[in-house]
Amino acid sequence: MPLKTMKLKYEKLTVPDNMELLSEEIDLLQPLKEVTVLFYTSDFVSISFLFPAIFNLIEYTVPGFDFKFSHTKILKEELLRTIKGRFDYINQDQNVFIKVAAFLDFRYKKFHFIHDETVRNVQLSLEKKFLVKN
């Protein structure tokens, strides 16, 4: 269900709990804001950090949050599902150039943003093969 059509019933909360809920929601949305600002205020071509930024959001940042309130937990799962759906094209074979752009950028060349060494090595190998082949 798209975020804009999500209808959640808020639990009856005290004022301090409402503030804590709001704080959780801000914490969840802050990384998304930072990535958005990065893309829209950049003075240079941003395709090279598209893969690292989205990969980091999907694999580490958003899943890494642990929330107290059920509303924020549901919002987190829906946000993650929406981001994955919106940026699914990054992982499709015909769009390998997005990953290659990250590989060619000296800031991301070693794909240090991928914590799992096996996954990192597979991605690096694929990008190198693509460059050699083309």
Q: Report if pTM > 0.85.
A: no
- What tens-digit pLDDT sequence spans the chain (134 residues)? 555 555 555 556 676 788 899 999 999 999 999 998 888 876 776 788 889 999 999 999 999 999 999 989 999 999 999 999 999 988 776 678 889 999 999 989 899 999 999 999 999 998 999 899 87
Q: Are 69 and 24 in contact (CB under 8 A)?
A: yes
* Residue at 95: amino acid letter: N
For the chain, give the longest Cα–Cα distance. 62
Rounded to whole angstroms, the Cα distance separating 6 from 82 reads 12
- State which amino acid sits at residue 26: I
